[in-house]
Amino acid sequence: MSDAAKDDARAVLARLGTADDDGLDIAEAALAFAIIDRPDAPIAPVRAHLAQLIRAGATLAGNRGAEERALALRGLVCGGHGYTGDRDTYDDPANANLISVVERRRGLPVALGIIWLHTAAAAGFDAWGIDFPGHFLLGIGGHGESGHGESVVIDVFDSGTIREEDELAALLARVAGPAARLGPDHLRPMTARQVLLRLQNNIRLRRVAAGALDTALAAAEDMLLLAPYSAPLWREAALLAERAGQKRAAINAWERLRGFGSAEAGEALARLRRQMN
């Protein structure tokens, strides 16, 4: 059953890997990643909860202002369902697994962000991940009384607190040093695919740090199912495969990267083939 569940989840990721970013179901993809890591976990309660968030999110559709929308989502996701950041066991791998996050109502910022984005989509709200240094944030768009677009930045790890510019500057200084200055590049919107890759990158990097190179490579390969055209990710997979001693997997990854026009890939393939002869 475990292997079948993993195979089905990987098939979902491969299917979503061909989808446009606008058509990518972020919760479905995150659940597929979670099933690969916990193939024997009960899935029905998680699917029922995600469906409940869709129904409840749809009731928020009348909110128009960005702050109004953020507060409505906060009331539902945090107030109604108790989602918040796990400050006590931040590095627990469960915090990056959607099944575990739903069960515990705790998680990493990016994992919580997927719950928020899933709910915001049901409400018809403009919402996006923000690639902030060292800390995932969320943007919520709306329309003020003048009818013009507006947006707010929220910290899903801190129960959906709205972060003002001075707070964002202070957060950046803690991550990047006191000389860092907040700018537009720090608030770049992310696609749903980028959010999912950031989630899984947490798992991959923790496995690398623990010396579990084979499972780190497996995580990278699962990410590539969702992002088969990511040259940087193919390079990471190739390097990981070499470090793990999996030369055939390394050759396959470098071959894919060579298709993107990488000179480095050609050099790596020549070196690996000499080693195998």
Mean pLDDT of the chain: 95
pLDDT of 22: 83
Contact 107, 101 (CB under 8 A): yes
Percentage of the residues of the chain whose pLDDT score is greater than 70: 97
From residue 131, alpha-carbon distances to 65, 109, 123, 197, 239 in Å are: 23, 11, 23, 12, 24
Contact 143, 116 (CB under 8 A): no
Render the burial of 226-248: b for 16+ CB within 10 Å, e for the rest. Answer: bbeebeebbbbbbbbbbebebee
| Section 102-114 average pLDDT | 98
Residue-range domain boundaries for the chain: 2-192, 229-276
Q: What are phi and psi of 65, to 5 degrees?
A: -70, 150
- Which tokens belong to 156? 């899903």
pLDDT of 276: 79
The crossing angle, in degrees rounded to 10, of helices 192-209 and 213-226 is: 170
pLDDT tens string 25-53: 999 999 999 999 999 999 999 999 999 99
pLDDT tens string 127-180: 999 999 999 999 999 987 655 689 999 999 999 999 999 999 999 999 899 999
Q: Name the residue type at position 53.
A: L
Q: What count of Cα atoms within 13 Å lies in the side-chain half-sphere of residue 270?
A: 5
Best CA proximity match to 123, nearest among 74, 75, 69: 69
pTM of the model: 0.94
- Lowest-confidence range among 72-86, 197-211, 263-277? 263-277
Collapsing DSSP states into helix, strand and coil, what is residue 154? strand
Contact 145, 168 (CB under 8 A): no
Residue 96 DSSP label: G
pLDDT of 1: 63
The answer on pLDDT for 245 being more than 80 is yes
